[in-house]
Amino acid sequence: MVMPVHNGARWLEEAIDSVLGQDFADFELILVDDASTDASTAIMAAAAARDPRVPLHRFDTNTGLPAALNHGFAHARGEFHSWTSDDNLLRPAMLSRLVATLDADPSADIAHADFMLVDEQGRNLGVSRVGPTDRLLYGNNVGACFLYRAQVTAALGGYDPRYFGVEDYDF
């Protein structure tokens, strides 16, 4: 799991804790500090100091999300890849369910699921339903809850830094 961060201190500690609180514990959380100037750096350093599954990488100059993701995945050691943002909270069974889905079907390269949207006060705004895979060419319908095999990253050559803001759709 890669978490690129640029000035995301507001929800960062909760986001990190939601990854570390997964019931599937065999993972690494690669934090990539993309030249943050707020409290993000200290929050990430504290997480890295308290959990050996959390390496921290820091850029002195902001590289942008696609490049930060590529840096994180270049250091990933697992057979599955995913990434999350500093304002995403993962449910405790997210990884175990997605890993089980991919383990059950070796021909599948990606698993994704619906996710809930919440406001700044934590109020449920509803579920965002992902669309069928045959609609991928018409929009990014994978959403914020996904896991894919590391071979996908290798086959696609990572995220294209030219497509900041639509890097996931391009990927």
Query: What pLDDT was estimated at residue 55?
Result: 98
Domain count along the chain: 1
Pairing mode of beta strands 115-118, 124-128: antiparallel
Give the three-class secondary structure for 45: helix
The pLDDT of residue 140 is 60
**Beta strands 110-112 and 146-149: pairing type?**
antiparallel
pLDDT tier, 131 (very low <50, low <70, confident <90, very high otherwise) = low
Mean pLDDT across the stretch 128-144? 66
Q: What is the pLDDT of residues 6-25, one digit of tens each?
A: 999 999 999 999 999 999 99
Residue 129 has pLDDT above 80, yes or no: no
pTM (two decimals) = 0.90
Average pLDDT for 49-74: 97
Range of the domain at 138: 2-170
Residue 103: CATH number of its domain: 3.90.550.10
Question: Whose CA is closest to 68, among 77, 56, 54, 78?
Answer: 56
Under the banding of pLDDT at 50, 70 and 90, the label for residue 62 is very high
Question: In percent, how much of the chain has pLDDT > 70?
Answer: 87
Residues 6+ apart with CB under 8 A from 158: 66, 69, 70, 73, 74
| In 75-148, alpha helices (H) | 94-104
- Quickly count: other Cβ atoms within 10 Å of residue 30's Cβ: 25
Q: What is the mean pLDDT of residues 37-45?
A: 98
- Band (137; pLDDT cuts 50, 70, 90): low
Question: Is pLDDT above 90 for 109?
Answer: yes
* Strand arrangement, sheet containing 146-149: 80-81, 146-149, 110-112
Collapsing DSSP to helix, strand or coil, 17 comes out as helix
Binning pLDDT at 50, 70 and 90, where does residue 82 land? Answer: very high
